[in-house]
Chain A
Amino acid sequence: MKKILLALTLVIGFYAEAKVKSNLSFDDAHVFVPMKGSRATGGFATVKNQSDKEINLVFKSAKGFKHVETHRTFEKDGQMVMEKVENYKIEPKGTLELKQGGNHLMLFDPTKEFKKDEKVELKFTVDGKDMKVMFKALPRVAAPEADHSGHSGH
């Protein structure tokens, strides 16, 4: 009986996640590889709500990080200000831009080293239902440096 209940729970869980995924898409989902000297890095994506209902998106965790939060950056009195937000609401058929200088995910204190293009598992709840999304780890500085510094007299 227990096994049947467990199986049923799993099936319902998978169904619920599949349903959530069909309603929500993440494009260009990436986190920046954490940099030495900083405890925080950012996660970004274009999130589209394909359903006819408003969606409540909560960022719960990220594999390889101790803590996560959602924030928004905005300009006020000539300063860039960042404030924590609890969730993001996405209108029916609407789009949430998680972008630099705006709404963004924050990931704190990496517990491992991340490499370029490594997949990072992020967990969200969408209207209370769990959803995992794989984000790509990208370096802050895209191309290797053609290092001219330190050379002299050419």
Chain B
Amino acid sequence: MGNKFKVIGAGLLVLSFLTVVGIWTMTRPPKLGGDFTLNHQGQDWNLVKNSKKLNVLYIGYAQCPDVCPMSLSIASQAFRQLNEKDLTKTQLIFLSVDYEHDTPETVDQYAKQFFSSFLGMTGSKEQIDFTVSQMKASYAVQKNVDSYLGYSIAHTDRLYFLDKKGMILDSVPSPRDYKLVLQKIKENL
């Protein structure tokens, strides 16, 4: 009789455990992000091989006169508040999706004007599309014959905070407040 209760008890325990695990699995947010390879200064640059403890990613393009430089300025303000130790553990990657106009050299030069350790990168369409899809971000080239440049690019305006493997730890949509960016960096370092 005693053994029977023990078996039922153990069964209930296992069932409860499995229920909890099941609920947790079904309700936890999906893991987004992952490794990617882009072109930095003419060379393949792989995140996992070059990652730091915290990798901040912004997706835009260098000809953007508005939200990209604004977001990079906000990020640079946050980076300026970091001490040397934190800076060695953090890097920002600016991915230009404008592979037809931005070169790996010009986009890196562009990014470094915001903060000297910022890395500007672009890549082939395949590399860019893969990276963008890893982050569940998006962009769309819009031809505009009336405009001087002839195009503009609609894109996600978000800072992604990635771990060493490129998995998204956190993100800040439309970064406009450097204190919030700084807080997120410190929380994830």
Give A contacts to B, CB under 8 Å. 32, 35-42, 67, 69, 71, 73, 75-76, 78-84, 100-101, 104, 106-108, 140-143, 145-152, 154
Other-chain residue from B83, B149, B156 in contact with A39 (beta carbon distance below 8 A): B149
Whether B110 contacts A37 by the Cβ 8 Å rule is: yes
A140-B114, A145-B76 given; name 11 further pairs at CB < 8 Å: A37-B62, A42-B66, A78-B138, A79-B156, A82-B64, A82-B154, A83-B144, A104-B65, A140-B72, A141-B73, A149-B117
Interface presence of B69 (CB below 8 A): yes
CA distance A130 to B129 in the complex (A): 46
Whether A79 contacts B138 by the Cβ 8 Å rule is: yes
Q: If A40-B149, A67-B148, A79-B139 touch, does A141 touch B76 (CB 8 Å cutoff)?
A: yes
The 12 listed contacts between A and B (C-beta, < 8 Å) are A37-B107, A37-B110, A39-B149, A78-B138, A78-B156, A79-B140, A81-B142, A81-B154, A82-B64, A100-B66, A100-B70, A142-B77
Which A residues are CB-close (under 8 A) to B114? 140-141
Which A residues are CB-close (under 8 A) to B116? 145, 147, 149-150
Which B residues are CB-close (under 8 A) to A80? 66-67, 154-157, 174
Interface presence of B146 (CB below 8 A): yes
Which of B83, B87, B139, B154 is the most central at the interface, judged by chain A CB atoms within 10 Å of its CB? B154
Other-chain residue from B84, B117, B152 in contact with A82 (beta carbon distance below 8 A): B152
0 or 1 for each of B84-122: is its CB under 8 Å from A? (1 = yes): 110110000000000000100011011001111100100
Which B residues are CB-close (under 8 A) to A67? 148
Which B residues are CB-close (under 8 A) to A69? 147-148
CA distance A56 to B104 in the complex (A): 41
Which A residues are CB-close (under 8 A) to B64? 38, 40, 82
CA distance A101 to B68 in the complex (A): 10
